[in-house]
Chain A
Amino acid sequence: MLGAESVREALLLPFQYKTHRDHCPTEAQLIKLLDRLQLPAAILSRASSRISGGEKQRVALARGLLLGKQLYLLDEVTSALDAESKRAVLDVFSDPHLTVLSVAHDPEWLGHCGIIFELEAGQLTMVKRNGNT
């Protein structure tokens, strides 16, 4: 998956690049983030090609989150997740310091969105605006 043999390599891949080289996460940070996403620490040593679709989805999210960005562009991010994992992902992205622009059909995910636009027949219409967003 994503150019790496093990899950650990997949997670640390961006930190081989010059842009992120000085911000490599510690083992404790890795485990903490995995735990927030309902992933066991043991997954780090597993082959990335042998983990399930839902696990792959959360590993990909973890990799993005490790980069510590403020804006995330997500496409159907809960599509392969069970209810428990979905809640974990929702919890992580509910962080008020993060801005998320996502494409979604999942009602639970949409329920947590601040602003929702609907795209129909090429027309973008705002259908919901929540709280102070």
Chain B
Amino acid sequence: METLDIALPKMALLYGLCLLPWLMLWLIGLRINRDIGISILRMSIQLTLVGIYLKTLFNLNNPYLNGIWILMMLVVADLSILRRAGLKARYFALATFTAIAFSILFSTAYLVILVIQPTYYYDARYIVPLAGMILGNCLQGNVIALERFYSAIRKNEDEYATFLTLGATRWEAVRPYFRDAIKAAINPTIASMATMGLVSLPGMMTGQILGGSEPWLAVKYQIAIMLCIFTSTTIASIINLKLSLNIAFNSFDVLKDEVVEEP
């Protein structure tokens, strides 16, 4: 079962679909049409470039090239997590990279080597989209974990100091905020798993069905990817926060001002 192609003139027709919301936003006086235009243009250019790159990547199917692509995704994700969490990359880049690299490589390798078992483990068709999907979700979780944790420490500075003065070690004093941050980081994935298939059809499954896969196969892949996302988000968030503790606090267990971006 082949997926029907969308010819270029039809693609132009698709862009025409956006004219209706564009007009409605303009009529209600919401002047964000320029932003919308830029976003649509950026999406189109970025995805075209990715399309060209992935086509080349799949054709060559070279393990080193696949590895470099995953490494690049990890570096971009690393910097993006820290920027969005309001932490300075020059202090935390290595810790965050270690956490996400370990969790992504672990769960992708587990899925590809132990479960899917393609002819070549480095097959770009499997490792690139799977690692990308897991990383994308893991990124969200890590942003939430870091942002929640360091905002809570700053917001509850007095309470945190009280814990320390009452004899808590750094780990004991940060533990309530640590637990809350991890809970916030993995909650979206847990909620998403609980409602999957009821509220909406998940993206990967929909993509596979549109791509011609049997629904049953698409369901199995969707379950696999969700379990990997949950695993990697949890592992990465915990390792990331744990590693960051050694960087963010001074020898008196006080949060260093210089590691946090000014709001």
Q: Which residues of A contact B (CB under 8 A)?
A: 2-3, 13-14, 16-20, 63, 67
Contacts and interface: CB of A to CB of B under 8 A. Distances in A.
A16 to B, nearest CB: 8
A17 B167 contact: yes
A16 B175 CA distance: 12
B159 interface: yes
B168 interface: yes
A3 B165 CA distance: 13
26 contacts: A2-B159, A2-B162, A3-B159, A3-B162, A3-B163, A3-B176, A13-B163, A13-B166, A14-B166, A14-B167, A14-B168, A16-B172, A17-B167, A17-B168, A17-B169, A17-B172, A18-B169, A18-B172, A19-B167, A19-B168, A19-B169, A20-B166, A20-B167, A63-B166, A67-B166, A67-B167
Nearest to A73: B165
A18 B167 CA distance: 8
Interface residues of B, number: 9
Given A17-B169, A18-B169, A67-B167, 19 more contacts: A2-B159, A2-B162, A3-B159, A3-B176, A13-B163, A14-B166, A14-B167, A14-B168, A16-B172, A17-B166, A17-B167, A17-B168, A17-B172, A18-B172, A19-B167, A19-B168, A20-B167, A63-B166, A67-B166
Interface string B153-175: 00000010011001111001000
Chain A residues touching B, majority SS: loop
Interface of B: 159, 162-163, 166-169, 172, 176
A16 B168 CA distance: 8
Q: Which 8 A-B pairs have the closest CB atoms?
A: A19-B167, A14-B166, A17-B168, A17-B167, A17-B172, A14-B167, A20-B167, A3-B159
Nearest to A16: B172
A20 B176 CA distance: 18
A49 B172 CA distance: 23
Contacts of A18: 169, 172
Contacts of B166: 13-14, 17, 20, 63, 67
The interface centre, meaning the residue of A3, A13, A20, A63 with most chain B CB atoms within 10 A of its CB, is A3
Contacts of A67: 166-167
A18 B173 CA distance: 11
A3 B162 CA distance: 9
Contacts of B167: 14, 17, 19-20, 67
Nearest to A13: B166
B50 to A, nearest CB: 47
